[in-house]
Chain A
Amino acid sequence: MPGETAAQSEPHLTIESRLEDLALLWPWAESIADIHGLPAATRFAIHLCLEEAISNVIRHGYRGELGRPVTVQFASQPDELVFTVEDEAPAFDPLDESREDQAPDASATDQIPLGGQGIRLLRKFAGSLVYQGLPTGNRLTMRFPIQR
C-alpha cells in the first residue's frame, strides 16, 4: 500500500541461529529507525543491543546449534520503542550477573578481557531490560526511550 514500508508490514524478523544471519538485523532495524526518525545515538544503541542479545542466544542459548529460530518483535509505544527477542533454547538468563566479567584491572598488563562484555553493554545502552523464561524458550524485552 502507498507509504507502507517493510518495517510497518513486518514488525518482526526471524533469523536462524547463525552469527552470519545477524547481518539481516541491520537493514531491518535501520528501516524502523528511519520510520521513527531516530537520532544516531538511539540507532546505535538499538543495533548494539540487538546484536549483543541475539549473539548471546546463538552462542550461549543454542550453544552454536545451527538452524534454530531467533525471533525479534518490534512494537512502538508513545515514548519508547520495544524490541523483544525470543528463542527456543534451554532456560538462559542473559542478565544473570554471574556471566558478567569483572572490569579489567589496569595494573594487570595482560588482563584485557576477551568476552563477556555483552551483558555490560546491554545494561548500559538499553533503557530497560526484562528477561522472562518461557515454557519452551526465553524472552528478552528491551526498551528504548524516544522523544516525539
Chain B
Amino acid sequence: MQISTEELADGVTRIALDGRLDIAGASAVDLKMNVAAGSANKLLIDLKNVTFLGSMGLRSIVLPARAVRSRGGKVVLFAPGEMVESVLKTSGIDSILPIYHDLAAALAALQ
C-alpha cells in the first residue's frame, strides 16, 4: 500500500492511496495518513487505486477523517472502485464521509 499527498488549490489536501487496504496495508499507512491529515481542513481521500478495503482499512480512513472533522474541517472520499464503494456503503461510512466520482464536485463539496 502506497500513500502520496498533494496540496491542491483552495487549501485542499489530497491523500491518494494505492494498493490493498487490508490489515497489512492499513498498518503500513496509518501513521502517514494521520500525519498527512494532521493540519488539513479540506481533505480529499483519493481511493481510485485502492484495490481492496476491509474493516481495518476503514479505520485508516476514519481516524484521520475524524481528526479533520473535529477541527471543523471537511472530508470527502473520491473515486472508489465498485467493490470498495460497496464496503463503504455497507459500513455506512458514506453517510458521514460523502463519496464523489467527479473531481469538480468533490472539490466543490470541500468549500
Binding site for B on A (CB under 8 A): 19-20, 22-23, 26, 40-41, 44-45, 47-48, 51-52, 55, 103-106, 109-115, 117-118, 120-121, 124-125
Contact = CB atoms under 8 A, between A and B. Distances in A.
Interface string B60-101: 001101100110000000000011001100111101110000
Interface of B: 20, 22-24, 52, 54-56, 58-59, 62-63, 65-66, 69-70, 82-83, 86-87, 90-93, 95-97
Q: Is the interface of A mostly helix, strand, loop or mixed?
A: helix
Contacts, number: 79
The 10 closest A-B pairs by CB, nearest first: A103-B92, A117-B55, A106-B95, A44-B83, A124-B90, A104-B92, A117-B91, A51-B54, A112-B62, A118-B55
A112 B22 contact: no
Residue of A44, A115, A125 contacting most chain B CB atoms (<10 Å):
A44
Contacts of B95: 103-106
A22 B22 contact: yes
A98 to B, nearest CB: 17
Contact of A41 (B20, B62, B83, B96): B83
B62 A124 contact: no
B94 to A, nearest CB: 9
